[in-house]
Chains A and B, each alone.
Chain A
Amino acid sequence: LHFIVPMTSLSEEVLLVVKKVRQKKQDGTLYLMAERIAWGPEGKDRFTVSHLYADIRCQKISPDGKAKVQLQLVLHTGESTTFHFANESTALKDREAAKELLQQLLPKFKKKANKELEEKNRMLQEDPVLFQLYKDLVVSQVISAEEFWANRLGGINNTDPSPYNNKQEVGISGAFLADIRPQTDGCNGLRYNLTADIIESIFRTYPAVKQKYSENVPHNLTEKEFWTRFFQSHYFHRDRINTGTQDIFSECAKQDEKGLKTLVTQGVKNPLVDLQSLEDKTLDEGYGICTTQPSTSNANKSVKDSSNSAIIKRFNHHSAMVLAAGSRRGELASDQASETSSTDGNSRDSDFFQPPVKKVKLQEAIEFEDLQRENRPKTVPLNLKKSDRYAHGPVPLQSQQYTTSQDIINSVNYIRHEMASYKPSLTQVLSSTAATSAIAALSPGGVLMQGGAQQAINQMVPTEVQGELKHLYVAAGELLRHFWSCFPVNTLFLEEKVIKMKSNLERFQMTKLHPFKEKIQRQYLSTNLTGHLEEMLQTAYSKFQVWQTRRMMRKT
C-alpha cells in the first residue's frame, strides 16, 4: 500500500544517504531528507517507501550483537517499516549514523505532530461514538484517516477549546525527586529513570530549569545530555558540598536563591505568622540571658553544619516551589483580590484602621463559634432511620424538596394574591376549533399518539442487531455528511471529493450495509430494517447522478 513517490526533487535537501539497506528483502538505498525519510530499491529512480518525520512515532533498533542490524520506524498509525543494514563492514556504523540523525530530527517534528495526534487521541478517548465511527470507517478502510479527520480537526481548532481546559489541574507530587532515585547499573554508572511526568514536574516546579532546557535543547545539547548534566550538576546535589564545577545550572541555583530571597523579603501576608514582629522588641542589646549559644557567624560553622542547613533550606524551597506550581493558575486571581482589598487598609492612622487581613485574622483568632448562637439559616437535621437507604441514593418517589412551613405559607399567600388580581386576557386565547382539534390529536388514537409501531421493532429485534443498526446509522450519517457538504460543487477540489465520497458511499453499502442486510434475512427478521438507510443512500446517489449529468452536459 505504499505510495510511489517521485525521486527527490531538487529543492529537497538530502542529509544522509546510506547504501545497501534492505527493505522487504530488497536491496536499496536509504535517504534522510529535511522533512522525510525515504527508501528506493536499487537501480530504480523512485522511492517505494517514504515517511514524513512528522508521521513517525518512534524508531527502534535491534539489540547489539544480533546478527541482523536493523532499524524500525513505527508510525503514528501503528504501521511500521523495517530497514536492514546489509553492508557487512559498516552496517553498525551506518545504522548508528541514521539513528543519530533521526534522533535529532524527530523531536523537531514531534511537537507539531504530537499535538495534533494527542488531540485526535483525546477526542477518540472522550467520545465513544466517535471512536466507534473511527473503527467502522477508518479501521475497516471505508475512508482514510485523513478524510475522517479532515473537517473534524478544523472544527476543533476553531471552536472554543474550553472542554479541554476545564480539565482539573493536577498538582505535583512533593516526592517527585524521590522517584528518580538513581540505580546503579552494575558498572560504575548510575541510571536515572525519567518519565514525561517527572520531567514535567521538574519544569513546573523549577521554571529556571525549563528555561535552560529550551535554551539548550536541542541546538547545544541532546535531551539525554541535558538530563545527564542536570543530574551531575551541583544544582541537583545542592546539599552536598559544592564541587565548584562550572555548569549550566549554576545560574539556576542563583536564580532560585534570588527568588527565595525576594520571597523572604516580601514578608508574609498574615501578620499572625510573622515571627519578626511577634515580640514587642523587648530587650536592648546586651541585656538578657543567653542560655543557648547559637554561633551564627559563618566563620566558626563546621562544614557539616552548613551542609545540614543547606538541606533544610532546600526542603523549604522545594516545598514552596511545589506548592506554587500547584496553585500558579489560581494564584493570579486571588492575588489581585487580596491586593485590592488591602489597599483600602493603607490608612496612615494605624490606631483606627488596621489592614483588613490583620483585622480578619484577629477576628478569626478570638472567635468562639460555639459560644455564639448560630446565625445560619435554619437547616433541617438529617435524621436517618435507615441509613443504607440513604447510601443507595434517592428513590424517585421520595425525592422532594423540603420546604419550611414558612415557605409554604408564603407560597399560599402569593398564589392567593395572584388569583385575586387575575385578569384573563381574552384576545390571546386559542380559537375553540383549534383547541378541540388539538385535544383530539392528543387523545388516545389521535394523530399525535401513534407511536406504537416503533415499540414493536424494539421488541422484535434482538439488542445486538439494534446496536449494529445504530452503528450503521451513525457511520452512514457521517459519510452522508461528508457527501452533502460537497454541494454546491464549485471547486475542483470539491469535485474530486464528491466523486470520492460517492465511491465511499458505495463501498459502505457493499461492505457494511449488504452483509448486515443478508444477516438479518438469514435470521428471518422480515422487517425492512435497512430500508430507510438505503433510501438515504439512494437519495444521495440520485443527487450525484443529477450533478454528474449536468456536469457532462456542461462539458459537452
Chain B
Amino acid sequence: MKLNIEGLLVYFPYDYIYPEQYSYMLELKRTLDAKGHGVLEMPSGTGKTISLLSLIVAYQRAFPLEVTKLIYCSRTVPEIEKVVEELRKLMEFYTKETGESNNFLALALSSRKNLCIHPEILHANIVVYSYHYLLDPKIADLVSKELAKKSVVVFDEAHNIDNVCIDSMSVNITRRTLDRCQTNVDTLQNTIHKIKETDAAKLREEYRRLVEGLKEANVARETDIYLANPVLPDEILQEAVPGSIRTAEHFVGFMRRFLEYLKSRLRVQHVVQESAPQFLKDIFEKVCIDRKPLRFCAERLQSLLRTLEIADIADFSAVTLISNFATLVSTYSQGFTIIIEPFEDRTPTIANPVLHFSCMDPSIAIKPVFQRFQSVVITSGTLSPLDIYPRILDFRPVTMASFTMTLARTCLCPLIVGRGNDQVALSSKFETREDFAVIRNYGNLLLEMSAIVPDGIVAFFTSYVYMENIVASWYEQGILENIQRNKLIFIETQDAAETSMALEKYQEACENGRGAILLSVARGKVSEGIDFVHHYGRAVIMFGVPYVYTQSRILKARLEYLRDQFQIRENDFLTFDAMRHAAQCVGRAIRGKTDYGLMIFADKRYARADKRGKLPRWIQEHINDGSLNLTVDEAVQLSKHFLRQMAQPFRQEDQLGLSLLTLEQLESEEMLQKITQIAHQT
C-alpha cells in the first residue's frame, strides 16, 4: 500500500498495516525532519524493521539532499540478513509499483572477512552492518570513517548498546599478551634492521612524514570529512609526533620499555585498582615515560607497520593491543579504570595476573557517531526505561516514544509466580538460592508447566552456574525424570557448537509434536540471538531476576562512575540491567500478533513496582493485579485457561479494524485519533 505520512509518500510492501507501524513511522519522520536523534521502543514482531526501511527509503527518495544514506546497524548476523531480506522485499515492491527498476544501492557486511569494500560503502544508499563497524574504533576507522554526515544511523536491537560501546574501548592484558607482544617487538626490530640495509630511504621518508605530523587527519576532521576516532584525541592532531618515538628504532625501544613496565605491573600479589592519571604518574616515576609519546603510540605503530609493508597485521595484534592501550590510557583521564588482579577469585592458588583497562563510560565510544551524523535512531523491542539511554549515552534526543502492541486478542500472558504451593517464597536472591525448598518449588513449576503447555517451553536461569546447580539438584530429586515423561529436555552448555545442536534438536522435537524444554541462561547467546516463534516457545519461564554478577570489581567501578557522573543510583542501574535482560528473555516467545505465549516471571521480586515498572510498556500493561503473586497452582490454572483460549482459530478478519488495518480503515478520522494514543511519549 501507499501511505501518506504527514505528506510523505511511503511505499509499504504489504496489503495491511498495524496501527503501531503507522505511529512508529510518524515519530520516525518527525525525528528526521528535526535532524535530531530518537529513542523508539516498539514490541518485537510488530514489523519494526520494515517500517523503518519503508520510511527512510521514502524519505531518501523525497529529499535526496537532506538524507543521503541509511546506515542500519544490527547485532547478529541473522538479524543483518533479515534486514537485507526485508529490504529486498521493499525494493521489489518499488519496482512493481513504479514500474521502473530503482537505482538504489544497498550493501550488507556480515562478516569481517570482507573488509575491502571501502569505496562501495561510500556510494551505497543503504549500508547494513554490525554495530562494531561504527562503534569499534579499530574497525570504524577502516570501514566507516568517510561515511557522509547526512546519513541516518539506526541502531536496531539497541538495548545492549552501552555494553557494546564499553567493550569496544576496553583492553585486557595478560602475561600471554605481553609475551606475544615481546615477540612482535623483536620481529619489528629485525625487519627494521633489514630495511635499513636495503631501503633506508623508506624509513627516512616515514620520518619526514611524522615531522609533518598528523596534519592530514586534522584537516580531515576539521573539514568534517571523517568520522572521528575516539582513540585519536583532537589535541594530538595539531602536534607533531614527539621526537622520542619518531625514528623507527627509537619507537621500538620505547615500546620495549613500556612492555617491561607492564610486566613489572603484572607481578603483583594483591589486587590493585587505580585511575588513568595514577597509572601515568607511576609510569613516569618508575621508567620515565611521559604522557605525550604514549598518546601517539597507536598512530606511530600504524605508520611503522605501513612503512614496513607488513601484510599480515593479525600477527601483530598483541603489539597493536598494547599501543592502543597506551594511547587510550594517556588520552582519557576519566571514564576508565585500571584493575590488576593477580589471580581469579575462584582459584586463588593459580597465578594468572590480568590487567583490566575498563571503559566505564559508553558515551566515549558513541560520541563521534552522535556528533557526526544528523540523525541517530536507537530502537528495540525492549528499551525501558527509555530515559536511561540518553543519560548513559550522553545525548539529547528529539523524540522518545514507546509503542504498545495493539491486539485483537491478548496473545501474551505475563504471570508473576511468587510462591510455591507450600507458600514458600520463590526467589533467586543470594540468601535463598541454595534453599532446597526454593529449588524444589522451581522444579515443580517447570514440571507442572511441562504437563499443560503444548510443544516448546524455554526456561531461563540467571547464570550458568546457577543453572548447573539447579539442574543437578533436580536430577537428584528425580524432578527431571518426571519432566521427561512430558517433554524432552535440552540444556544450553558453554560450548556454542554443542548448544547449537541442542537447539536444533529442541526445534525438531517441537516440530514433530513430541514437545521439548530448553533450559537456558539469561545474557547467554540463546537469550540474545534466538527467537522462539509460535510452537517453538509457547511459554518462557524466567527463574529468578537476572542480576549481573555484582562481585566483579569492574562492575563495581562502573557503578561508582555512573553514580558520580550521571547521578544514577547503583540499584537503579542494576535493576534496569536485570529487567532489560529479563524482558529480552520473555520477549523471545512473542514474535508477532498471530503468535502467543506465556511469560512466567518466577520470582516474588518481580511483583514490586520498581521491578515491574522497568519492563517494557507492552508487557507491563498486561500484568494485572491478579497475576502479581501467584502460587504455582494458580499460575497453572491461569495458564490452562489462556492456552485454551489461544488455541481457538484466529483469522485475519478477527484482527481487521482493530490491530490490522486496510488503507481505508487507516485513513478514517477515528482511527487516526486512536493511533495518536499508541505512541507513549516520555
Contact = CB atoms under 8 A, between A and B. Distances in A.
A294 interface: yes
Given A264-B498, A293-B345, A308-B468, A275 B112 contact: no
A291 B16 contact: no
Contact of B555 (A267, A291, A362): A291
Given A171-B514, A280-B110, A312-B493, A273 B317 contact: no
A264 B138 CA distance: 33
B189 interface: no
Contacts of B77: 277-280
Nearest to B89: A366
A319 B359 CA distance: 43
A287 B549 contact: no
B47 A284 contact: no
Contacts of B32: none
A287 B166 CA distance: 10
Interface in B416-433: none
Nearest to B469: A308
A97 interface: no
Contacts of A368: 14, 47, 50, 592
A289 B50 CA distance: 33
A414 to B, nearest CB: 33
Interface centre among A285, A291, A292, A372 (most CB of B within 10 A): A291
B80 A276 contact: no
B16 A370 contact: yes
Contacts of A309: 468, 493-494
Contacts of B170: 287-289
Contacts of A175: 481-482, 484-485
Nearest to B74: A280
A238 to B, nearest CB: 12
B488 A275 contact: no
Contacts of B350: 299-300
B366 to A, nearest CB: 15
B500 A267 contact: yes
Interface residues of B, number: 103
Interface residues of A, number: 71
Contacts of B171: 286-287
Interface in B136-164: 136, 138, 163
A365 interface: yes
A552 interface: no
Contacts of A365: 78, 82, 85, 531, 533
B481 A268 contact: no
Contact of B16 (A271, A278, A283, A371): A371
Nearest to B654: A370
B317 to A, nearest CB: 6
Nearest to A382: B649
A320 B505 contact: yes
Contact of B468 (A181, A277, A305, A320): A305
B401 to A, nearest CB: 22
Contacts of A372: 14-16
Nearest to A362: B85
B497 A272 contact: no
Interface in B82-129: 82, 85-86, 89, 109-112, 129
A365 B321 CA distance: 39
A270 interface: yes
A89 B143 CA distance: 97
B321 A282 contact: no
Nearest to A300: B347
A366 B509 contact: no
A461 interface: no
B594 interface: yes
B593 interface: yes
Given A271-B78, A278-B78, A371 B130 contact: no
Interface stretch (A151-159, A322-330, A401-409, A472-480): A322-330
B163 to A, nearest CB: 8
A221 interface: no
A337 interface: no
Interface string B492-514: 01111111111111011100101
Nearest to A174: B484
Given A175-B482, A270-B507, A370-B652, A307 B592 contact: no
Nearest to B591: A365
A282 B525 contact: no
B497 A289 contact: no
Contacts of B37: none
A302 to B, nearest CB: 9
B458 to A, nearest CB: 13
A276 B496 contact: yes
A368 B345 CA distance: 49
Contacts of A286: 171-174, 177, 317-318, 321
Interface string B464-488: 1000110110010010111011011
A178 interface: yes
A366 B87 CA distance: 11
A311 interface: yes
Nearest to B495: A264
A316 interface: yes
A265 interface: yes
B14 A268 contact: no
Interface centre among B502, B503, B554, B592 (most CB of A within 10 A): B502
B15 A371 contact: yes
B179 to A, nearest CB: 13
Interface string B585-612: 0000000111000000000000000000
Given A280-B112, A319-B505, A370-B652, 9 more contacts: A239-B475, A268-B503, A272-B78, A284-B321, A311-B472, A313-B498, A315-B491, A323-B488, A323-B514
21 contacts: A171-B514, A174-B485, A267-B497, A272-B78, A273-B503, A273-B504, A275-B529, A278-B529, A280-B130, A285-B321, A289-B170, A295-B344, A309-B468, A315-B490, A319-B505, A326-B512, A366-B50, A366-B85, A370-B16, A371-B14, A373-B15
